[in-house]
């Protein structure tokens, strides 16, 4: 507990803005969350996509700021393509939980970047066109920053035990197919 408080203090989480305003399509607002820590030595090579279930960018950000949540992602993409960054990509966010990737590597948070997409994850409400475009942009940005990125996977795929998570349910992976073969899709 002390450690959590100490690291939270050092990282210096921002307060939620008193009046929320989505930053707008393809614009990024950084609201540092407390739920992160230092990565170990692993190379960053994976992007994990999620759906929030939470209904909005604001409520997701609020949840990630909640001391009881103990979860985070690096980015959340709102329905209009607004982006909030919660954690530096150089730090480890807590998005995948108990997990194992396609190569059998465990603790996927160590070597991945987590992107949350605002969607109820009911398999009915579609992900929006701005979300598809912004997720694609983020992949491009991350690939430039981390040329080692070679997988995009889903929380559903990596969560252990299998069936623990189902997000991002209904995401159209064909929208990211053009990244292959440089980045392999593992939905
Ligand atoms: Zn998830």
Whether pLDDT at 2 is above 50: no
Taken in order of first residue, the domains within the chain and their CATH numbers are 23-186 (3.40.80.10)
pLDDT of the residue at 17: 87
Instruction: Quote the ligand 1 centre to 167 CA distance (angstroms).
Output: 5
Nearest residue to 158 via CA among 110, 86, 91: 110
Q: In the structure, what pLDDT confidence band is assigned to residue 63 with cuts at 50, 70 and 90?
A: very high
Between these two residues, 128 and 8, which has the higher pLDDT value?
A: 128
Instruction: Quote the ligand 1 centre to 71 CA distance (angstroms).
Output: 10
User: How would DSSP label each residue in 31-46?
Assistant: ---S-EEE--S----E
**32 to 2, 65, 95, 128, 150: CA distances (angstroms):** 19, 8, 15, 25, 27
Whether pLDDT at 15 is above 90: no
pLDDT of the residue at 13: 58
Q: Give the number of residues written for the chain.
A: 187
Q: Which residues contact 16 (CB under 8 A, 6 or more apart)?
A: 31, 61, 62, 65
Max Cα–Cα distance, the chain, nearest Å: 46
With beta carbons less than 8 A apart as the criterion, state whether 56 and 78 touch: yes
Mean pLDDT (whole number) for 108-134:
98
Q: What percent of the chain is predicted at pLDDT more than 90? A: 88
Instruction: Quote the ligand 1 centre to 168 CA distance (angstroms).
Output: 7
Residue linked to tokens 């940005």: 141
User: How would DSSP label each residue in 106-168?
Assistant: B-GGGGEEEEEE----SSSSPPPHHHHHHHHHHHHHHHHH-TT--EEEEHHHHBSSTTS---S
Between these two residues, 2 and 37, which has the higher pLDDT value?
A: 37
Q: Name the DSSP class of 179.
A: G
Instruction: Quote the ligand 1 centre to 73 CA distance (angstroms).
Output: 9
Q: What percent of the chain is predicted at pLDDT more than 70? A: 93
- Identify the active-site residue in 116, 129, 174, 180: 116
pLDDT digits (tens, 9 = 90+) for 75-118: 999 999 999 999 999 999 999 999 999 999 999 999 999 999 99
Instruction: Quote the ligand 1 centre to 169 CA distance (angstroms).
Output: 10
Instruction: Quote the ligand 1 centre to 108 CA distance (angstroms).
Output: 12
pLDDT digits (tens, 9 = 90+) for 144-185: 999 999 999 999 999 999 999 999 999 999 999 999 999 999
Instruction: Specify the 3-state DSSP secondary structure of 69.
Output: coil
- 116 as an active site residue: the answer is yes
Task: Compute the distance between CA of residue 125 and CA of residue 167 in angstroms, rounded to an integer.
Answer: 13
Q: To the nearest 5 percent, what fractions of the chain are helix, strand and coil?
A: 25, 20, 50
């Amino acid at each position: 507990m002390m450690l959590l408080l100490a690291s939270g203090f050092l990282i210096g989480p921002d307060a939620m803005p008193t009046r929320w305003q989505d930053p707008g399509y393809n614009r990024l607002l950084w609201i540092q969350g407390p739920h992160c820590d230092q990565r170990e030595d692993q190379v960053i090579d994976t992007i994990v996509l999620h759906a929030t279930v939470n209904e909005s960018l604001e409520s997701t950000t609020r949840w990630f700021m909640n001391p009881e949540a103990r979860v985070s992602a690096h980015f959340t993409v709102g329905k209009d393509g607004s982006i909030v960054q919660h954690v530096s990509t150089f730090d480890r966010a807590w998005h995948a939980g108990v997990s194992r990737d396609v190569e059998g590597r465990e603790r996927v948070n160590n070597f991945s970047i987590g992107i949350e997409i605002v969607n109820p994850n009911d398999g009915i409400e579609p992900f929006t066109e701005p979300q598809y475009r912004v997720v694609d942009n983020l992949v491009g940005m991350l690939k430039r920053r981390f040329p080692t990125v070679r997988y995009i996977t889903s929380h559903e795929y990596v969560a252990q035990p299998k069936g623990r998570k189902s997000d991002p349910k209904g995401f159209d992976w064909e929208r990211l197919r053009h990244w292959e073969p440089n980045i392999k899709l593992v939905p």
